[in-house]
Structure 1
Amino acid sequence: MLTPTENAELFQIDNLQRAAFGYFLDHADPATGLIADTSLPGAPSSIAATGFGLSCYPIGVERGWTSRREASRRVLTVLRFLGESPQSRDQRASGYRGFYYHFLDMRTGERTWRSELSTVDTALLIAGCLTASAYFSGEDAVEGEIRSLAESLYARVDWRWALARSDTLTMGWRPPGRFLKHRWRGYSEALLLYVLALGATDHAIGPEHYDAFTEGYDWIPVDGEPHLHAAPLFIHLFPQAWLDLRAVGDRPMRERGTDYFANTRRAIALQRDHARRNSGRFAGYGEQLWGLSACHAPRGRLRLADGRWQRLFGYVNRGAPFGLDDGTLVPWAASACLPFDPEASRAALGHIKASYPGLLKEGRLPGGFNPSLAGDGPEGWIDERVVGLDQGLVVMMIENWRNGFVWELTRSLPAIRRGLERAEFEGGWLATETA
Structure 2
Amino acid sequence: MLRRNLIYFLVSVVALASCTPRKTDQQTTSADTTAHISDDSLLTLVEARTFQYFWNGAEPTSGAARERFHADNVYPENDKHIVTSGGTGFGVMAILVGIERGFITREQGLERLTHFITWLEKADRFHGVWPHWWNGETGKVKPFSPNDNGGDLVETSYLLQGLLCVRQYFKEGNEQEKALAGRIDKLWREVEFDWHRNNKQNVLYWHWSPDKAWVMNFAVEGYNECLIMYILAAASPTHGVPAEVYHDGWARKGGIRNDSTHQQYGYHLDLRHNGAQQYGGPLFWSHYSYLGLDPHNLKDRYADYWTHNRNHTLINYRYCVENPKQYKGYGENSWGLTASYSINGYAAHSPAEDLGVISPTAALSSFPYTPEESMKALKHFYFDLGDKTFGEYGFYDAFSEHHNWYLPRYLAIDQGPIIVMIENHRSGLLWKLFMSAPEVQQGLDKLGFTR
TM bracket, shorter-chain basis:
0.7 to 0.9
Residue equivalent to 2:7: none
Question: Which of 74, 81, 92 does residue 112 from structure 2 map onto?
Answer: 74
Contact 1:31 1:77 in 2 (8 A): no
Residue equivalent to 1:204: 240
Residues 70 and 247 of structure 1: is their aligned pair in 2 closer, same or farther, counting only changes over 3 Å?
same
Residues 47 and 224 of structure 1: is their aligned pair in 2 closer, same or farther, counting only changes over 3 Å?
closer
Q: Distance in 2 between matches of 1:6 and 1:209?
A: 54
Q: Deviations over 1:362-417 (max 9, x none)?
A: 251111112111xxxxxx21233211122211111111111111111112101211
Q: Distance in 1 between matches of 2:437 and 2:355?
A: 41
Q: Distance in 2 between matches of 1:107 and 1:297?
A: 29
Tell me if 1:36 matches 2:74: no
**Matched residue type, 1:214:** A
Residue equivalent to 2:225: 189
Residue equivalent to 1:347: 376
Residue equivalent to 2:177: 143
Residue equivalent to 2:300: 250
Q: For this pair of structures, how many residues does the alignment match? A: 390
Residue equivalent to 1:22: 52
Contact 1:331 1:365 in 2 (8 A): yes
Q: Deviations over 1:315-353 (max 9, x none)?
A: 121113xx2111111012222111111111111212222
Residue equivalent to 1:126: 160
Q: Distance in 2 between matches of 1:9 and 1:396?
A: 17
Question: Which of 424, 427, 435 does residue 400 from structure 1 map onto?
Answer: 424
Question: Which of 189, 193, 206 does residue 171 from structure 1 map onto?
Answer: 206
Residues 393 and 226 of structure 1: is their aligned pair in 2 closer, same or farther, counting only changes over 3 Å?
closer
Three-state SS of the structure 2 residue aligned to 1:296 is strand
Tell me if 1:110 matches 2:134: no
Task: Name whichever of 26-35 and 10-19 sits farther off.
Answer: 26-35
Residue equivalent to 2:281: 231
Residue equivalent to 2:89: 51
Residues 46 and 226 of structure 1: is their aligned pair in 2 closer, same or farther, counting only changes over 3 Å?
closer
Q: Taking structure 1 as the reference length, what is the TM-score of the superposition?
A: 0.85
Three-state SS of the structure 1 residue aligned to 2:187 is helix
**Matched residue type, 2:449:** F
Contact 1:15 1:363 in 2 (8 A): no
**Matched residue type, 1:414:** P
Contact 2:396 2:410 in 1 (8 A): yes
Tell me if 1:318 matches 2:352: no
Residues 72 and 217 of structure 1: is their aligned pair in 2 closer, same or farther, counting only changes over 3 Å?
same
Pairwise CA distance, 1:175: 3.6
Contact 1:297 1:383 in 2 (8 A): no
Three-state SS of the structure 1 residue aligned to 2:410 is coil
**Matched residue type, 1:142:** Q
**Matched residue type, 2:239:** H
Contact 1:241 1:406 in 2 (8 A): yes
Q: Distance in 2 between matches of 1:147 and 1:236?
A: 28
Q: Name stretches of at least 5 consecutive residues in structure 2 with no aligned partner.
A: 1-30, 74-79, 274-279
Contact 1:48 1:102 in 2 (8 A): yes
Tell me if 1:271 matches 2:316: yes
The percentage of aligned residue pairs carrying the same residue is 26
Residue equivalent to 1:217: 256
Q: Distance in 1 between matches of 2:268 and 2:86?
A: 34
Q: Distance in 2 between matches of 1:210 and 1:5?
A: 50
Residue equivalent to 2:38: 8
Q: Deviations over 1:55-80 (max 9, x none)?
A: 12111111110011110111111112
Q: Distance in 2 between matches of 1:6 and 1:208?
A: 55
Residues 29 and 276 of structure 1: is their aligned pair in 2 closer, same or farther, counting only changes over 3 Å?
closer
Tell me if 1:161 matches 2:195: yes
Residues 82 and 401 of structure 1: is their aligned pair in 2 closer, same or farther, counting only changes over 3 Å?
same
Q: Taking structure 2 as the reference length, what is the TM-score of the superposition?
A: 0.82
Q: Distance in 2 between matches of 1:265 and 1:390?
A: 19
Residues 96 and 386 of structure 1: is their aligned pair in 2 closer, same or farther, counting only changes over 3 Å?
same
RMSD: 1.9
